[in-house]
């Protein structure tokens, strides 16, 4: 039969009382994130951020493209391929035969204006921006004649029509880029209704250029790169990144500014049309996830 010494029992009791707070603190520390560590999301709550998709274009077809065209905007309107071009004295709008690359008809901007992107208004009219003039031309697409000139502040780069998905609840909304990391929301008369910062993994995406709105997503060329980003206009978050560096193999005749620029979506096929400034080819592509399998 074991006997417990009263003094020894008291000592053990005191030690136990002293250890409980220390042990509890240690357990809390072991279960808490360290410096720079974030809590893992749990089923009880906390935002779970969807991973950014990494995509590449798969070429479905190629078509000739005017190698002298300084492409600023590209859009399909009722099956017609429209393209806007830049450079002072050369800026304008044209309708292009997709199969041959031949210019079917064209119209020039004022020679003092540097043309930029365009978007259709859905009523056989389209708006073309200018770089620094603070003016946008409204074109009648049936005649390619100028029917109005709108004004806006700042630079104009890319433009697309978001439609009923406008974040301000408007019946219709345009999205405009100015070469920064922000997109502005505009009414059909180009009056400003809001803006949003574009972020990829929390970092700003600068030099947003030509835009294409497709089913509530804004696709944007990033100027001077072979990158296209997909943007959620309600949050500004980039949801997908397209690496199009493999599109044009031979660039030996191109200058530093002759980069990927021009996105049009074909609602009939679901494909995208991509080209660049002074590129000799128009690519018809679908975007698909990057393969993890090694080549060969």
Concatenate the DSSP letters of all residues of 128-176 into one string.
EEESSS-EEEEEETTTTEEEEEEE-SS----EEE-GGG-TT--SS-EEE
The C-alpha atoms of residue 147 and residue 207 are separated, in whole angstroms, by: 30
Asked if residue 224 is part of any domain, the answer here is: yes
What is the Cβ-side half-sphere exposure of residue 100, based on CA atoms within 13 angstroms?
A: 5
- Residue 164's pLDDT band, with cuts at 50, 70 and 90, is low
Domain count, the chain: 1
Domain that holds residue 148: 53-289
Asked if residue 5 is part of any domain, the answer here is: no
CATH number at residue 167: 2.120.10.30
The whole-model pTM stands at 0.81
Cα 106 versus chain centre, distance: 28
Question: Considering the chain, what is the average pLDDT of its residues?
Answer: 85
Identify the helix (H) or strand (E) that includes residue 14: helix 6-31
Radius of gyration of the chain (CA): 28
User: Which has more confidence, 26 or 103?
Assistant: 103
Predicted local confidence at residue 83, as pLDDT: 98
Query: pLDDT tens digits, residue range 186-207?
Result: 999 999 999 999 999 999 999 9
- Residue 163's pLDDT band, with cuts at 50, 70 and 90, is confident
Asked if residue 193 is part of any domain, the answer here is: yes
Asked if residue 33 is part of any domain, the answer here is: no
Query: pLDDT tens digits, residue range 27-77?
Result: 333 333 333 333 333 334 445 567 999 999 999 999 999 999 999 999 999
């Amino acid at each position: 039969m074991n006997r417990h010494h009263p003094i020894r029992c008291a000592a053990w009791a005191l030690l136990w009382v002293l250890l409980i707070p220390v042990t509890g603190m240690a357990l809390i520390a072991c279960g808490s994130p360290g410096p720079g560590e974030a809590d893992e999301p749990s089923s009880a709550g906390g935002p779970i951020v969807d991973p950014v998709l990494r995509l590449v274009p798969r070429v479905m077809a190629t078509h000739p493209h005017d190698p002298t065209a300084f492409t600023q905007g590209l859009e399909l309107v009722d099956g017609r391929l429209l393209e806007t071009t830049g450079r002072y004295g050369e800026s304008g709008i044209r309708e292009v035969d997709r199969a041959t690359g031949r210019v079917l008809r064209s119209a020039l901007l004022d020679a003092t204006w540097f043309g930029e992107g365009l978007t259709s208004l859905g009523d056989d009219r389209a708006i073309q921006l200018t770089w620094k003039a603070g003016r946008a031309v409204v074109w009648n697409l049936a005649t390619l004649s100028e029917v109005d000139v709108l004004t806006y502040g700042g630079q104009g780069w890319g433009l697309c029509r978001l439609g009923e998905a406008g974040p301000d609840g408007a019946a219709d909304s345009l999205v405009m880029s100015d070469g920064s990391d922000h997109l502005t929301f505009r009414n059909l008369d180009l009056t400003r209704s809001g803006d949003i910062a574009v972020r990829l993994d929390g970092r700003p995406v600068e030099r947003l250029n030509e835009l294409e709105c497709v089913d509530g997503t804004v696709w944007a060329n990033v100027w001077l790169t072979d990158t296209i980003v997909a943007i959620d206009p309600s949050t500004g978050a980039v949801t997908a990144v397209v690496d199009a560096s493999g599109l044009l193999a031979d660039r030996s005749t191109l200058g530093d500014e002759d980069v990927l620029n021009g996105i049009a979506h074909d609602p009939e096929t679901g494909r995208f049309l991509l080209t660049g400034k002074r590129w000799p080819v128009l690519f018809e592509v679908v975007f698909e996830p990057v393969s993890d399998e090694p080549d060969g």
